[in-house]
Amino acid sequence: MAQVKIVTEAARAAQEGQPLEEVARLARGMVLQTHVLFFVDSLEYLQRGGRIGKAQAILGTMLNVKPLFRLDLGEITLYEKVRTRAKATERLYEFVADFPRIDKIAILYSTTPNEAHSLARRVDAFYPMDRIFIGKYGPVLGTHLGPGAMGVVVYEGQD
């Protein structure tokens, strides 16, 4: 969702005849205003993909750890570790609620549409439900994140 919004706006600016430098500035600015937080349900797929070691995956699974990751400027970093899926979902809600200004929100899931819709209903308290995009991760992300993954994308918008 984030990439589509950025590309669409950059293409619109280019079609309007904006100079290349202005189109690039617009795209860079939008990247800085786009925030992503997600969690995985199982560490198995991160381990299979070489993102974490086998010992980490086994220990994390035994402790029922649900790591939350943040994507900033193309870099994935560990945001927080929680012990239950409910706490991970709550952190997604809190992440969205902390933004003073929101232009667009997307809630993405792999195999849990009911949870995604439930989160959207909670977000509706401060952002209109009919403007929240709810969608399924694509197969590439699904391969790396595994079933049960869920995340949010927040675009703050330009001043």
Residue ranges of the domains in the chain? 1-32, 34-155
Q: How far apart are the first and last CA of the chain?
A: 20
Say which CATH class 34-155 falls into: alpha beta
**Alpha carbon distance 78, 60 (integer Å):** 14
Q: At what angle do helices 85-97 and 113-123 cross, to 10 degrees?
A: 40
pLDDT tens-digit series, residues 3-48: 656 666 667 777 788 777 777 776 666 667 788 999 987 766 666 6
**Alpha carbon distance 154, 117 (integer Å):** 16
Residue type, 24: A
Residue with token string 């035994």 = 62
Check: pTM over 0.85? Answer yes or no: no
pLDDT tens-digit series, residues 111-129: 889 999 999 999 998 888 8
Interstrand relation of 104-109 and 132-136 (parallel, antiparallel or unpaired): parallel
**Is the four-CA dihedral 138, 68, 76, 36 of positive or negative sign?**
positive
**Is the four-CA dihedral 34, 92, 65, 139 of positive or negative sign?**
negative
